[in-house]
Structure 1
Amino acid sequence: MRWAQALTGIALAASLLAAPRLARASDLVLSLSKSRITITSSFTGDNIVLFGVIGAGAPADGPHPFDVVVSVRGPSQGFVTWRKERRFGLWMNVDGRSFLAAPSYLAVLSNRDPALMADADTLRQEQAGFANNRLLQRVGSDYADVVPEDPFRQAFLRVKQAQGLYVERPAGVEFIAPNVFRAVVPIPGTAPIGTYDVVVKVFADRVLVNRGALSLDVAKVDFEQTVATAAQNQPWLYGLITAFGALAVGFIANIAFRRD
């Protein structure tokens, strides 16, 4: 079994060295199965596989010689979370919280619970783990992150998780050899377009020993890209064409299905 694992690690390391999208961070080599995802009208989601090889020189004994946290962040966007209350028989928005420059997509994958990898201060500083990712918010006249138990923060995370845009998998990183790991990053059909940052952090003996980063592009192609570009660059013209198109479809449907 050890010989098989060693051969697997050597073969994978060689393939990573020849990969087109590859990043080195001293002793850490990373590669993605594909560096670009194209979205068409039939796109329903995809999976990207991240491979990593941790170089020699780090500890290789014990049940967890290495710990790995993979964080994938999509383009930043602003969001507002509301708190509703029932008043006068109706549910109404009574309070809100603005999230500034929050990642539109966030996936945190690790080989075990990040809380077991290092002390709490180190995890917060490195944003290692789902709860440790900073989400800048506007609270009154101040701008800051809040405690993980904040109800607005929890509501924001619940909404994004329900949409499939925020993912946490404490067992999402698999070691296929002592120094070789893989992680499958799910990209949903509703993934926003833009550049995604893939950041990998390696811990050993509860200390951060290495880090590396890659980028992943999510883009629309062909007709979808043309429509998206027009909507972004010429919103008024796009809105007028859409409105006239809807009127034309309604007029044709009225003629086709009217009863004499």
Structure 2
Amino acid sequence: MGIISPARVTKMMPPIYWILSAVLFLWPCFIPYMLITPAEAKRSDFAKESVQADISTRSVGITSSFTGTEIIVFGAVENARRTKDNRNPYDVVVVVEGVGNPLVLRKKSNVAGLWFNTEAIYFSSIPSYYAISTNRPLNKITEPHILDQHGIGFVHISMVFSNRPEEQRITKKNRQTYKVAIVRLKRKQGLYVENRFGTVFVGPSLFRTSINLPANVPVGPLTARVHLFRNGILLDTFVSKVQLTREGIGRYIYNFASSYPFFYGIFTVFIAAGAGWGASTYFSRHRS
């Protein structure tokens, strides 16, 4: 039997041999990639950004001496990314909104030199309180149709007209005029508040803002919504609740008046009559 030369042995080897040899030789190079766990892959740059937030207090007590308070909304952007120039690409809009209440908007007109209520527009629901805080003007954050869809900003607040035929015939232009009038009145009362540049980023992903609750804030639940935007796109919304409750003697008086309005009316009449009689007696004695 003759001796087979190495060149001939190499020529006789099938292609699969070379593939297996290459894999055995190069497999250590793939070890770092094989050790990546699913959790690490989830935390990669492709993970979806979201917002997590909280409120400094979930319950506010309203007493007869209540003069207003402040709540702090704070949070963080999870899986935050940075731009190539290390700029923060996110916008955060915080909206705190009260429950919807019915309202009647009356229009005064000058009739023969006297002012009379000549028109009344009925709303079945408008927010009893509305506060908004942003890190920059809304028109630079996203498009108007997105703001309108989520009720973000005074122009886009959800106000529901009543089902009366008079309200249903109101044109879109006039509806907006009435909404602007309500916002103007509510802002004058301190119940609609806007704080541009009130939302501040602390570090690359942390943020905070403060919301002022005036002394005349209506009792009831408040809904806090934290909207996260990037390049005009709404990425995520975090929702939380704040409860405003009456406390002290005011709470008992309110509950009594709500449960027994007839007896409460009689009680107030006796109180007023007694106060008047007492004052009259006091001054008559001192005059004599």
Into which bin does the TM-score normalised by the smaller protein fall?
0.7 to 0.9
CA 1:55 to 1:61, structure 2 compared with 1: closer, same or farther past 3 Å?
farther
Match of 2:114 in 1: 90
Give TM-score scaled by structure 2 length. Answer: 0.76
Q: Secondary structure at the match of 2:252?
A: helix
Q: Where is the helix percentage greater, Structure 1 or Structure 2?
A: 2
Amino acid at match of 1:72: V
Amino acid at match of 2:183: L
Unaligned runs of 5+ in 2: 1-48
> What is the Cα deviation at residue 178 of structure 1?
2.0
Match of 2:206 in 1: 180
Give me the whole-angstrom Cα distance separating, in 2, the residues matched to 1:212 and 1:232: 35
Match of 1:114 in 2: 138
Q: Secondary structure at the match of 1:140?
A: helix
Give TM-score scaled by structure 1 length. Answer: 0.84
Match of 2:251 in 1: 225
Match of 1:19 in 2: none
> What is the Cα deviation at residue 127 of structure 1?
1.8
Q: Secondary structure at the match of 2:250?
A: helix
2:76 equivalent to 1:53: yes
CA 1:64 to 1:125, structure 2 compared with 1: closer, same or farther past 3 Å?
farther
> What is the Cα deviation at residue 143 of structure 1?
8.7
2:157 equivalent to 1:136: no
2:277 equivalent to 1:254: no
Give me the whole-angstrom Cα distance separating, in 1, the residues matched to 2:143 and 2:178: 26
> What is the Cα deviation at residue 151 of structure 1?
2.7
Q: Secondary structure at the match of 2:74?
A: strand
Match of 2:190 in 1: 164
Match of 1:102 in 2: 126
Match of 2:9 in 1: none
Q: Secondary structure at the match of 1:150?
A: helix
> What is the Cα deviation at residue 146 of structure 1?
4.4
Alignment of 1:27-38 (within 5 A): 27-38=50-61
Q: Rg: which structure is higher?
A: 2
Q: Where is the strand percentage greater, Structure 1 or Structure 2?
A: 1
Match of 2:41 in 1: none
Q: Secondary structure at the match of 1:226?
A: helix
Higher alpha-carbon deviation: 125-134 or 186-195: 125-134
Give me the whole-angstrom Cα distance separating, in 1, the residues matched to 2:236 and 2:168: 34
Q: Secondary structure at the match of 1:257?
A: helix
> 2:256 touches 2:264 (CA, 8 Å); kept in 1?
yes
Q: Deviations over 1:197-219 (max 9, x none)?
A: 00111100110111101100111
Q: How many residues align?
A: 236
1:42 to 49, 61, 65: 65
Unaligned runs of 5+ in 1: 1-25
Runs of 4+ in 1 over 6 A off after TM superposition: none
Give me the whole-angstrom Cα distance separating, in 2, the residues matched to 1:42 and 1:165: 18
User: What percent of counterpart residues are identical?
Assistant: 28
Q: Secondary structure at the match of 2:79?
A: coil
Amino acid at match of 2:154: F
CA 1:58 to 1:121, structure 2 compared with 1: closer, same or farther past 3 Å?
farther
> 1:75 touches 1:192 (CA, 8 Å); kept in 2?
no
Match of 1:9 in 2: none
> 1:137 touches 1:145 (CA, 8 Å); kept in 2?
no
Alignment of 1:187-206 (within 5 A): 187-206=213-232
2:97 to 62, 73, 87: 73
Higher alpha-carbon deviation: 138-147 or 229-238: 138-147
> What is the Cα deviation at residue 240 of structure 1?
1.3
Q: Deviations over 1:215-257 (max 9, x none)?
A: 0011111211101111222222111111111111111111111
> 1:131 touches 1:148 (CA, 8 Å); kept in 2?
no
**Cα RMSD over matched residues?**
2.3
Q: Deviations over 1:168-207 (max 9, x none)?
A: 1222211112211111111000011111000111100110
Give me the whole-angstrom Cα distance separating, in 2, the residues matched to 1:245 and 1:115: 55
